[in-house]
Structure 1
Amino acid sequence: MPRRAVPRTRPRRTALLPPETVAAIRNELADVADDVVKQIIKEVPPYAAAFGGTMGETIRTAVQVALGGFLSLVSESGPNALAPRASAVDGAYQLGRGEARSGRSTDALLSAYRIGARVSWQHLSAAAVAEGIEPATMASFAEMVFAYIDELSAASVAGHRDEAATSGRVRQRMLERLARHLLTGAPEATVTAAAERAEWPAPTTLTAVIVPESQVGPLLHTLQRDTLQVADLPELDASTLLLVPDAHGRRRATLLRAVRDRGCLVGPARPWLEVRASYERALRARSLDLTGDTEAHLPRLVLTADPSALEDLRSSVLAPLGDLKPSSAAKLRETLRAWLLHQGRRDEVAAALFVHPQTVRYRMNQLRELFGERLEDPDTVLALTIALGVEEESPE
C-alpha cells in the first residue's frame, strides 16, 4: 500500500541540552521503557495480555527508540537530528496499523501514549534537574516532550485509519466475491476457500433479501455484521441483495420485523451453500410484484411456477364456461372458487361474495347444469381448485 504522508508537527527547537545531560538521560532509557510498559499494563486493560512475552519486549524496544529519537532532537541540530525522529514517527505509524490489524481501536493506544508521556517526563525531568538544567530550559524541554508525544500519537492514528480503510476495502471485496460464488453455483471447495480468505464464519443457513437501494444502509445497521451484500446484479435494477446468516426458525420473525415497511422481499432460509435457491425464490416473487415474506405467498408462487401449464389447465377444466357471456362466466368462476374454498358452506360463500345466499344457490345450480357429475369427482375438484386458486392471491 502506498504510504500515506503522516503529519509532522515539529516541536520547537529551543531546548538543546548539553551533551552530558543527554548522556545521563540516555543511560536511563532502559529503565524508563520498563516503567512505561509496566504502567501501561497496569492502567490500560486491553494491553495487559498483549504486552506479555515477546510483545512486551518489542514495545520496550519501541519506547527506547522513540525516546532516543527525542533525545537526538533536543541534543543536535541539522539533518542529523531529523533521522532518528523520522524513524520514531514511522514506527508510530506502523504501530497504529498493527493495532488496526489486531482489531483494537485507537482509544487504548492513545491512552498508552498519554501514560508514556507522563512516565517519561517524570524520569527525564528528574534527570535534567539532577544535571542542573535552568528552569526556563526545563519549561521549553517539557513543551517539546509533549509536542513530540502528540506527533507520535498523530502518526499512530493515521496508520490506524489507513490500515482500517485498506483492510475494510479488501475484506469487502473478498466478501462480495464469496457472495457471487454462492450465487453462481461455484464448487464447494471454491466457496469454502473464499470464506476462509475473507475470515467469514460459515453459518448454518443464509436467507436472501432483496432490498431497495435506499434502504440498504439503514437495514444493515439492524442485521448481523456478517451479512453479505451484493450490488449491481443485472436482474436487480435499483435494488441490492443481502444474504443474512442464520435467520431461520424463530430468528426469521426478527428479520421480518427489521424489513417491515421497507419494500423488501425475503426468501426462505436455506443451507448456506444452497442460498441460490433462496435468491431464486425471492426473484420469482419480485417478478410477480410481491413484497414481504415469500413464505406468505407460497400458493401463488406454486400456482404460477409454470404459467403455460396453468393456462392449459384452466382452459381445459373451465371449458364448460366457454360459451357464456364473459360477465356471466366471471360471476360463475368467482362463485365456484368461493364454493370450493369454503367447502360448500353457502352462508360463508355468500359473505365472501357479498351476495344473498339465494344468489349463491342459483349460481351453483347453473354450475351443476354446466359441469354435471364432474363437480363430485375428486380429480375435477382438484383441477378446478388449482385453476381458480391463482386468483386467490393478489400483489400486496
Structure 2
Amino acid sequence: MIEEIRTRIPEYARPSDELYIKVIRIAVEQAVEGFLDRVEDPDAPWDREPFRMIGRGEAAEGRNLEPLQAAMRLGARVGWRRLTELAGPCGLSPQNLYDLGEVIFVHLDQLADAAAEGFAEARAHAAGETERRRTRLLDLVLSSPPASAEAIADLARAAGWRLPRTVACVALDDGLGPCPALAFPSDVLSAMDRPQPCLLAPDPNGPGQARMLDQALRGRRAAIGPAVPLTAAATSLRWAREALDLSRRGVLPDGLVRCADHMATLVVFKDEELVSALAEVRLAPLTHLRPTQQDRLAETLLAWLRHGRGAGEVAARLHVHPQTVRYRLRQLEELYGDQLADPDIRFELEIALRARQAVRA
C-alpha cells in the first residue's frame, strides 16, 4: 500500500523526506489495524483521532482532501487485491469475500469522515486565527496616534493582507441589522460587531472599488470617508462618522453618503456652535422679516453668492423671472448696504446660508 501510494499519488512522493514517509507508514498501519479490529469485532469502538490528525495535517500542508481520499481508495484497492489473492490458500468462500469487501467500504467511509473532521477543524482554526489577526490589524491601523509602519506591515503580512497606497473608512449605521460579510471582498477589513461598526476599503479610487461598495452597501445608511494614506485611516473614519451623523439628522441624504461629495457641508458643520454664532450675526438683517420673506431672500442671496451676480443666471438657478430676482436683490442691498461689497463678509454669508439651507432641507 505504501509503495503504491508513494508511486501513484504525486503529493505523497517524497523519497528524501523520512519524516513524511514515517507519517504515511503510520497512517497505513492505523488503517489496516483498524480494518482487522473491525473484522474481529464490528461493534468495538475505534479511535478516530489518528485520521483526524491526518486531516489536520493535510490542511496545514495547504492541500484539499482529494489527494488523501485518492490515497485511501488506492490503499483499499491494494488491500482488496491482496485478499483475493489469498482467498484460495486461506479457504475463503465468495461470501467471505463479499463480506470483507463490505467491511472495507464501511471502514473507508469512516476513515474519510474522520479525516474530513480534522481537516474542517484545522481550516476553521486557521480562519479564526486569520480573522483575529485582521481584527488586530484594523485596530492598529485605526489607532490614534497610528501604530508604526513596521508593526502594521508585520501584522498585515501575517494576516495575508496587502498594504494599499490609500484607504477609505466606511461608517455604518448600527440600527439597521447585521451587514452581510460575504458581500465584501477579502481585502476589505471589517469590524461589524462593534458598537460603531465600520469597514476599511483599500484603494477606494481603484478600478471597480466604488461599484463594489455601492453594491455591498445598497439599502443601508452608511458614509464613506475620504481616500487617505494608510497612516491617516483614523481621520477618514472620523469624517465618515461625522457624515453619518449628519445623514441621520437629515442634513445629508439618507442611504450611502460619500464625504468627497459633501466636503463643504462637512466643513460648515464641523463646529456648529461657531456657525450658529456666525449666522446670528450675518443673517441678522433678515430676522425682522416674515419667515417666507426670509426664505426667499436667503435663497436668492445664496444663489447670487454661488453662481454670479447676474440676475439672469440667478433666475435660471431659482426657476423664477429675472425681474423677481432684481426686486429681491434690491431688497438685499437695502438690508445689507455696503456689506455685500466686502469679500470676507460675502464668504461668511455663504457659510451661514449653506448651513441654514442644509438644516432646512
- Which TM-score tier does this pair reach, normalised by the shorter chain? 0.7 to 0.9
TM-superposed CA distance for 1:128, in Å, is: 4.2
Q: In the alignment, which residue of structure 1 is the partner of 2:156? A: 195
Q: Could you tell me how far apart the structure 2 residues matched to 1:391 and 1:38 are?
A: 80
Structure 2 residue aligned with 1:125: 84
Shift of residue 217, structure 1, vs aligned partner? 4.6
Compute the displacement of 1:72 (Å).
Answer: 4.2
Residue 226 to residue 371, structure 1, CA distance change in 2 (3 Å): same
The aligned residue for residue 295 of structure 1 is 260
Q: SS where residue 148 of structure 1 aligns?
A: helix
Shift of 1:349: 2.1
Deviations 1:138-187 (A, max 9, x none): 22221222222112111101111222233333332332233223333353
How does the TM-score come out when normalised to structure 2? Answer: 0.82
Single out whichever of 69-78 and 102-111 deviates more from structure 2: 69-78
**2:235 paired residue number:** 277
Tell me if 1:172 matches 2:131.
yes
2:327 aligns to what? 362
Work out the CA distance in 1 between the residues paired with 2:357 and 2:81: 82
Structure 1 unaligned blocks of 5 or more: 1-31, 42-46
Residues 299/68 of structure 1: CA separation in 2 closer, same or farther (3 Å cut):
same
Equivalent of residue 310 in structure 1, options 275, 290, 294: 275
**Alignment match, 1:8:** none
Deviations 1:321-371 (A, max 9, x none): 344444433321111011122212323322433432211111101111222
- Per-residue deviation, 1:375: 1.9
Alignment RMSD (CA, Å): 3.2
SS at match of 1:390: helix
Q: How many residues get paired? A: 349
Q: TM-score, normalised by structure 1?
A: 0.76
Q: Aligned ranges for residues 3-42 of structure 1 at < 5 Å?
A: 32-41=1-10
1:105: Cα distance to partner?
3.4
Deviates more, 1:288-297 or 1:245-254: 245-254
Q: What's the offset of the Cα at 1:100?
A: 2.6
Question: In 2, Cα distance between the equivalents of 1:182 and 1:388?
Answer: 38
1:27-106 alignment, distance < 5 Å = 32-41=1-10, 47=11, 53-54=16-17, 57-58=21-22, 60-70=24-34, 72-73=36-37, 86=47, 89-106=48-65
Q: Distance in 2 between matches of 1:395 and 1:152?
A: 70
Does structure 1 conserve the Cα–Cα contact (< 8 Å) formed by 2:35 and 2:107?
no
C-alpha change, 1:162 and 1:60, in structure 2 (3 Å) is closer
For residues 168 and 77 of structure 2, the distance between their equivalents in structure 1, rounded to whole angstroms, comes to 53
| Percent identity (aligned) | 31
Aligned with 1:375: secondary structure?
helix
SS of the equivalent of 2:326 reads helix
Mapped to 2, the partners of 1:326 and 1:217 lie a distance apart of: 43
Equivalent position to 2:308, from 343, 365, 378: 343
